[in-house]
Amino acid sequence: MLETVEQETGASPEWAVIWLHGLGADGHDFAPIVPELVRPQWPAIRFVFPHAPKRPVSINNGMPMRAWYDIVSMDFRSRADATGVAESVQQVEALIAREQARGIPLQRILLAGFSQGGAITLSAGLQRREPLAGLIALSTYLPEVDAAAAQLVPGATVQPIFMAHGSADPVIPLQVAEHSAQVLKDLGFALQWQRYPMAHQVCAEEIHALAEWLQARFTQA
């Protein structure tokens, strides 16, 4: 089981959000977003921020760092190490199972991620036969996008997706993210797409839009 940082917004959480960080960061990276995101009327939520394992990253001269997968190419169609992606998806599945064991049903668990973490979020979402409450993919893309239709399992497309990106992102070009979003829409996902004048980061407008999207999830439950 991955080590995690956890925050609970109230006693006896009814919902869980598992949030995956980006390359070289750790579980503490997005913890400060909780007070900016959460609204007073929301149900109690457990935010789970796991630490990715440390592994050598090829494009960084093999330097070990926290990463959800190795980056083996500059071509986004083959950029992600498929074995590493699969391993991380399984580790995330273990975290989801733990939340179920703690009494939170799948329909009240959301999976979120930024950059590499978002790539794992989307990969995991494609393969979930029992759908989660939703997927949140920030400044990211879908690995192995050409194989997405083959990887999709029955029932997965009922999971709504919030996907947002910066128009000046120098790490993951906007058109790469837009292509991933279009592929997911074509597969049948209900996807809300947001674009902001920013780089590889998160902005206040994005957090507000995400809060609105989450509000709809809580209302529909």
What pLDDT, on the 0 to 100 scale, is given for residue 78?
A: 82
Active site residue 78: no
What pLDDT, on the 0 to 100 scale, is given for residue 75?
A: 84
Query: Measured between alpha carbons, how far is 122 from 140 in angstroms, rounded to an integer?
Result: 9
What pLDDT, on the 0 to 100 scale, is given for residue 77?
A: 80
What confidence tens digit (pLDDT) does each residue in 46-56 have? 999 999 999 99
Active site residue 115: yes
Among the listed residues 118, 129, 205, the one whose alpha carbon sits nearest the alpha carbon of residue 163: 118
Query: Measured between alpha carbons, how far is 114 from 99 in angstroms, rounded to an integer?
Result: 21
Token digits of residue 139: 């400044």
What pLDDT, on the 0 to 100 scale, is given for residue 79?
A: 86
Q: What is the mean pLDDT of residues 56-72?
A: 95
- Give the helix/strand (H/E) hosting 211: helix 204-220
Active site residue 51: no
Query: Which is catalytic among the residues 88, 115, 139, 180?
Result: 115
Q: What is the mean pLDDT of residues 148-156?
A: 94
Among the listed residues 82, 95, 99, 9, the one whose alpha carbon sits nearest the alpha carbon of residue 52: 95
Quote the strand ranges of 26-172, DSSP E.
Answer: 45-50, 54-57, 63-66, 109-114, 134-138, 161-166
What confidence tens digit (pLDDT) does each residue in 110-136 have? 999 999 999 999 999 999 999 999 999
Q: What is the separation, in whole angstroms, between the first and last Cα of the chain?
A: 29
Write down the pTM of the prediction: 0.97
Among the listed residues 185, 197, 189, 192, the one whose alpha carbon sits nearest the alpha carbon of residue 210: 192
What pLDDT, on the 0 to 100 scale, is given for residue 73?
A: 84
Quote the strand ranges of the chain, DSSP E.
Answer: 4-8, 15-20, 45-50, 54-57, 63-66, 109-114, 134-138, 161-166, 191-196
- Give the helix/strand (H/E) hosting 34: helix 34-37
Q: What is the mean pLDDT of residues 195-213?
A: 98
CB proximity list for 206: less than 8 A, separation 6 or greater: 138, 164, 194, 196, 198
Q: Is the pLDDT of residue 221 over 80?
A: no
Q: Is the pLDDT of residue 29 over 80?
A: yes
Query: Which is catalytic among the residues 139, 165, 169, 180?
Result: 169
